[in-house]
């Protein structure tokens, strides 16, 4: 039963997934033609590509010269695990959780590393923990932007400059879209497949001098797998942070990351990327403000993500339904849009409240988001008609 006409215009690119994310505008396979395929990553050409990726990352993110930047295996997850297993245990830990990835780090810290001096500061989906309760004499582990909740920390003002513990920040859906205060961050991780739309499998691990000092002065009580080891003889393995990767990287993925970095540089670097993400978010925020049936999952406007925009259905007739029925309603919206080839992969994360999650990072065009919003209204009307028919 159809209740509304389909909108005339459609997004030119229907890819609104929150990871892997849309490729940069204009991307095609020809952009990867300079990849040194079939060559060793340890050959001169391979090392040069990897070092260039590190150097461009530093330039675009404005990372201080004395911070180390490494390309590591297993995406952002691998980078975070390297940090947790190599650095924690020297002092108590505060881990902040307000969505699924933070919960995962808390599980690793409490149940796998079994740190007895670990404290979890938790909030439900849509909110932040009380940041004033964080003890900066402890190591602090947190996500800057909750990819599965659409909630981010508003800034780094809550982090003490004179802290004695380390801050370990999972910034995978924040890097390149949100302004990271490096002076407040000791370890930062992200992956290539988020804001720059790169390919999966590779992570970035950024260490402050304080983090390097910890690595060189502290030996964890547990054994470390080879891919986690960053020191030898009590000294940092500098080669890891100069392009000599721990394991074999995909030079095709490296070339794709370089293409994205060069695109970002042409836009004005980090400032240009953040402006694109902010403009994209504004398209969705303006639509939400004028649309009664939908709202943000993030309750505080100051903490709403400009990349992983998480929405909930606010229609009282839907919110009165049982949780399973609410989830089915949201899935009907996402399913209708996928069937119409208008928007792919915009359902809420499996552990999150029922709703939608639309990526608004820098590789997405604002015009595509503007074209999407009438379709969201159409899909809602379709789902609502189906609900009435079922009744």
Q: Give CATH for domain 270-390.
A: 3.90.1150.10
Show me where the domains of the chain are located: 29-266, 270-390
* H or E segment and range at residue 113: none
Structure tokens at 294: 């939908």
Structure tokens at 224: 């470390």
Nearest to 203 by CA among 31, 377, 376, 53: 53
The average confidence (pLDDT) of the chain is 97
Cβ atoms of 87 and 187 closer than 8 Å: yes
pLDDT in tens, 112-136: 999 999 999 999 999 999 999 999 9
Predicted pLDDT at 246: 94
Structure tokens at 238: 């500098």
Cβ atoms of 307 and 172 closer than 8 Å: no
pLDDT in tens, 253-269: 999 999 999 999 999 99
Q: Which of 17-21, 156-160, 309-313, 385-389 has the lowest mean pLDDT?
A: 385-389
How far, in Å, are 19, 20, 74, 277, 290 from residue 255 at the CA level? 19, 16, 17, 23, 42
Say yes or no to pLDDT of 2 above 70: no
Query: What's the pLDDT band for 45 if we cut at 50, 70, 90?
Result: very high
Cβ atoms of 371 and 10 closer than 8 Å: yes
Nearest to 202 by CA among 74, 101, 80: 74
Predicted pLDDT at 388: 86
Which CATH number is 29-266's, of 3.40.640.10, 3.30.750.24, 3.30.70.370, 3.40.50.300?
A: 3.40.640.10
pLDDT in tens, 58-107: 999 999 999 999 999 999 999 999 999 999 999 999 999 999 999 999 99
Say yes or no to pLDDT of 292 above 80: yes
Query: What's the pLDDT band for 137 if we cut at 50, 70, 90?
Result: very high
* Mean pLDDT value across residues 347-363: 97
Listed in sequence order, the DSSP H helices in the chain are 44-61, 75-87, 100-107, 209-217, 251-266, 270-289, 316-319, 323-339, 366-390
Say yes or no to pLDDT of 4 above 90: no
Instruction: Output b/e per residue, 301-328; b: 16+ Cβ within 10 A.
Output: eebbbbbbbbbbbebeebeebeeeebbb
Residue with tokens 């691998």: 78
SS (H, E, C) 160-217: CCCCCCCEEEECCCCCCCCCCCHHHCCEEEEECCCCCCCCCCEEEEEECHHHHHHHHH
């Amino acid at each position: 039963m159809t209740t509304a006409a389909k909108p005339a215009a459609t997004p030119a690119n229907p890819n609104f997934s929150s990871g892997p994310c849309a490729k940069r505008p204009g991307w095609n396979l020809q952009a990867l033609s300079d990849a040194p395929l079939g060559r060793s990553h340890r050959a001169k050409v391979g090392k040069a590509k990897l070092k260039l990726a590190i150097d461009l990352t530093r330039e675009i993110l404005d990372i201080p010269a004395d911070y180390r930047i490494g390309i590591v295996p297993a995406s952002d997850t691998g980078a975070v695990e390297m940090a947790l297993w190599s650095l924690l245990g020297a002092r108590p830990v505060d881990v902040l959780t307000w969505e699924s990835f933070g919960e995962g780090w808390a599980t690793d810290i409490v149940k796998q590393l079994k740190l007895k001096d670990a404290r979890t500061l938790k909030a439900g989906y849509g909110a932040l923990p009380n940041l004033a309760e964080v003890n900066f004499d402890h190591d602090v582990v947190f996500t800057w932007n909750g990819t599965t909740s659409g909630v981010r920390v508003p800034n780094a003002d809550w982090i003490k400059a004179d802290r004695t513990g380390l801050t370990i920040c999972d910034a995978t859906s924040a890097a390149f879209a949100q302004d990271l205060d490096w002076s407040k961050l000791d370890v930062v991780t992200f992956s290539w497949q988020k804001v720059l739309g790169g390919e999966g499998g590779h992570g970035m691990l950024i260490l402050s001098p304080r983090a390097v000092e910890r690595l060189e002065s502290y030996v964890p009580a547990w054994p470390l797998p080879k891919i986690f080891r960053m020191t030898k003889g009590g000294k940092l393995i500098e080669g890891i942070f100069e392009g000599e990767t721990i394991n074999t990287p995909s030079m095709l993925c490296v070339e794709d990351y370089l293409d994205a970095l060069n695109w970002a540089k042409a836009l004005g670097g980090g400032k240009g990327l953040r402006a694109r993400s902010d403009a994209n978010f504004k398209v969705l925020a303006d639509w939400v403000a004028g649309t009664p049936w939908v709202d943000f999952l993030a309750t505080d406007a100051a903490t709403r993500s400009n990349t992983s925009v998480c929405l909930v259905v606010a229609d009282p007739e839907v919110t009165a339904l049982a949780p399973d029925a609410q989830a089915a309603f949201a899935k009907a919206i996402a399913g209708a849009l996928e069937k119409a080839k208008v928007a792919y992969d915009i359902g809420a994360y499996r552990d999150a409240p029922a709703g939608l999650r639309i990526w608004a990072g820098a590789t997405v065009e604002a015009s595509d988001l503007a074209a999407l919003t009438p379709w969201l209204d159409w899909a809602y009307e379709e789902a609502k008609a189906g609900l009435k028919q079922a009744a």
